[in-house]
Amino acid sequence: MPEFFTVRTPPEAWRLFRQHFTPQVRAVRVPTVDALDRVLAEPLTSPQDLPEFPRSTVDGYAVNAADTYGASPGLPAFLDVIGEMPMGRAVDLRVGVGQAVLVHTGGMVPSGASGVVMVENTQQVDAASIEVLRPVAEGENVIQVGEDIRQGDPILAPGHTLRPQDIGGLLALGITSVAVAEAPRVGIVSTGDEVVPPGQPVQPGQVRDINSYTLAALTRRAGGAPTLYGIVPDQRPALMATLTQAHAENDLVVLSAGSSVSYRDLSAEVIAELGQPGVLAHGLSVRPGKPTIIAVCDGVPVFGLPGNPVSAMVIFDLVVAPAIRSLLGAPR
């Protein structure tokens, strides 16, 4: 039976693991509105300029900036108001010399205008004219076409975890679906004659199975899709049958307990029979969590975690979560 002769440091064990494991990312297309916290599986480029039209950043008047040069409260510039740009639709207005058009925050700036003077810096003379009390520079208070992003510019790269602001930005560009990494299938097996289901009364010497459910929650948080295979007794045929099934049905397998060196330890020797290269590390030089198994069996990672819940959580975050992230194409 394997012993602690392959104890490795966590960095050494991870390097060895990655030498023997090449993750394959499976992509699935989902609506952008449902893609929060999913890992992108394709490069995205902008299909359009944003904004697609020049927009005002203030409420005010679109003007020819040169008409306002030198304007002051004591010597204002007088401009004729020729109309208003309503929100949400285009109006065929063009600003000429000595003219102004009323615009609103976020609204379109009409052609011919080179700046927007804030309404606070104007004074209405009558229904058709205003005084400008302060000059504006070329482009002042205007977001130009493509200022946020240009058509064809890269937006997001594969491996990026989509955030709320990403969802909004993609939808602003009309990107309504994206290819994301499919959640890796993670089989979770709990072992031990002393382990019983959480809803069952505990007899002396027994403990409730909390690791299966803790590891399932950690798996979901890491981006995986867990499947629980129940509690397996410390019997070789039962453990071999369950592990063989989990190995065949999942992208990654996690065992809880059964990894300490003792006369009842079956995990390492059973894992070694699942495929090549088999067990890469039987023990990590870390506390808590030393009795850990790291293996790759015919392309499927298999991890044996300590039975202590705290140790199991530590090792999950140390090696299992990064392995799940690699199956998503995401950074460790």
Q: Domains plus CATH for the chain?
A: 10-26+183-327 (3.40.980.10), 55-143 (2.170.190.11)
**Amino acid at position 154, single letter:** P
The predicted structure's pLDDT at residue 3: 44
The predicted structure's pLDDT at residue 265: 63
The predicted structure's pLDDT at residue 258: 54
The predicted structure's pLDDT at residue 58: 98
Nearest to 253 by CA among 191, 314, 311: 191
Tell me the average confidence (pLDDT) per consecutive run of 10 residues in the chain, 332 residues long. 65 94 96 97 97 96 97 96 92 95 97 97 95 97 96 97 97 97 97 86 88 96 96 90 97 80 68 94 87 94 93 95 96 83
Q: How many CB atoms lie within 10 A of CB 85?
A: 19
- In the chain, beta strands by DSSP E: 27-31, 44-45, 55-56, 60-63, 77-84, 99-103, 115-118, 122-126, 129-132, 142-143, 154-156, 177-181, 185-191, 195-196, 207-208, 225-232, 252-256, 277-282, 293-297, 300-305
The predicted structure's pLDDT at residue 261: 52
- Is pTM beyond 0.85? Reply is no
The predicted structure's pLDDT at residue 251: 98
- In contact, 274 and 298? CB cutoff 8 Å: yes
The predicted structure's pLDDT at residue 4: 43
Instruction: Give 186-201 as a DSSP string.
Output: EEEEEE-TTEE-TTSP
